[in-house]
Amino acid sequence: MISVPAMRLHQFGVYFYQAILNVRDVQKLVRFEVLSYGEEGRTQGKRPLKTARAGKVNWDVLEQKIGHSEEAYQRPVIQRKIAELMDYYLQCADTQNLPAIPGAVLLTCDRRLDFVPISSHRVLGVLQLPPEEGALRALDGQHRLLALHQLAEQQTPPDVQVPAIIFDRLAPDQVVELFVTINAKHTRLNPSHLISLSGRRLYPDASLAASHDIVRALSEDGNSPLKGDIKLFGVGHGRVAQAPLAEELKGVFNALDAFGGRQADDFREHSTRFFLSYFKQIAKVFPKAWSGKRYSIKTSAALRAFLRVVPDVLAAIRRLGGDPFDSGSIFNAIEPWGDYLGDPRFETDGEWRQKLAGGTRGTVDVLARELRSSLRSPD
């Protein structure tokens, strides 16, 4: 293991580390990767023939250091930026009055890391990093680290300490969310760079990938009753965040997978079609609430409840001898919701506010229980 000094930080239930790496650590441990759409390269822009101070950059060697796949999410590396950073690093070395990398880079690790406290308050300590090459993945600061790596390849590695924030407990969807949060607001990253990607490119987990595609379709499809209502990756005019809906959808797929069989596989393959039809039928069952301004049926809590009962809805459709992908069968199963709950259930200043007094989670649970209990059963 490679031991580095670090602090263990805690924010809103998440533990991560602020560590100090040297240039050799960066060369060995950090791997770089960019998104590939097909024939595009690992770097973009006109290659600078040379930099002012560092001379000629071997771009072919540099590109070999960068991974290239459809599963990545980072943009291709900007060559001009690498050249400018290398010049800046050498300027810092010459003048000795500026820090080369004053801000922390962000790294992720697929493995759980061990932290050994060396102080009574258990914040300061030593972080144990796996010794394998490419054990850490660059989340933010890729250009800074690549320039430093290239500079070290050309000459004796400079004596530079690199501050790094390292995460080891993030799920794949959390990594993507963090990447977008960092870049969509503060850099020139076009939000469509990620929003337009299919879930299969963004997430290795099949359930998360399908969830992304469904939420994206609900937000963007011209026939979706939720078009424009969902904020993808924190970007856009929608009022409902993507992440809570994706988590509910993942729970739906996990519940269906627990039963196994061909039905679960068929549903996953055509799930986007089902959910578009499902919410159309919900809009028909609650027409006043769906189109009215004084109702909370399109809030995150309500939509999560509708998603949470999908396995029960599918079971009801099958008990009634219907087809889960037929809009009439879906409507037949959920039509009693209009009689048992009705539009007034979602009046913001009425019953909805009374239920909300118990907390958001309670509202989701209570509404899901009401929906589940009022599904149609065979006579």
Residue 106 counted as domain residue: yes
Based on the fold, state whether residues 126 and 237 are members of the same structural domain: no
Quick one: pLDDT at residue 368?
Answer: 93
Residue 182 counted as domain residue: no
**Biggest CA-to-CA distance, the chain:** 85
Based on the fold, state whether residues 325 and 249 are members of the same structural domain: yes
Residue 263 counted as domain residue: yes
Q: Which domain holds residue 93?
A: 2-170
Quick one: pLDDT at residue 305?
Answer: 94
Quick one: pLDDT at residue 70?
Answer: 62
Residue 177 counted as domain residue: no
Quick one: pLDDT at residue 377?
Answer: 73
Based on the fold, state whether residues 10 and 39 are members of the same structural domain: yes
Residue 230 counted as domain residue: yes
Domain boundary among 140, 170, 200: 170
Based on the fold, state whether residues 92 and 208 are members of the same structural domain: no
Based on the fold, state whether residues 218 and 258 are members of the same structural domain: yes
- 99-127: pLDDT as tens digits: 888 889 999 898 899 999 997 888 999 99
More confident residue, 7 or 235: 7
- 215-269: pLDDT as tens digits: 889 988 899 999 989 887 666 677 888 878 888 998 888 888 776 666 667 787 8
Domain count, the chain: 2
Based on the fold, state whether residues 108 and 197 are members of the same structural domain: no
Residue 179 counted as domain residue: no
Based on the fold, state whether residues 137 and 197 are members of the same structural domain: no
Of 65-74, 167-176, 272-281, give the range with the top mean pLDDT: 272-281
Quick one: pLDDT at residue 98?
Answer: 80
pLDDT above 70: percentage of residues in the chain: 79
Does position 91 have pLDDT exceeding 90, yes or no?
Answer: no
Domain boundary among 119, 138, 170: 170
pTM for this entry: 0.59
Based on the fold, state whether residues 134 and 211 are members of the same structural domain: no
Based on the fold, state whether residues 248 and 300 are members of the same structural domain: yes
Residue 7 counted as domain residue: yes
Based on the fold, state whether residues 152 and 227 are members of the same structural domain: no
Phi, psi of 48 (to 5 degrees): -65, 130
The mean predicted confidence, pLDDT, of the chain is 81
Does position 44 have pLDDT exceeding 80, yes or no?
Answer: no
Based on the fold, state whether residues 242 and 341 are members of the same structural domain: yes
Based on the fold, state whether residues 94 and 159 are members of the same structural domain: yes
Quick one: pLDDT at residue 163?
Answer: 93
Domain boundary among 135, 170, 205: 170
Residue 295 counted as domain residue: yes
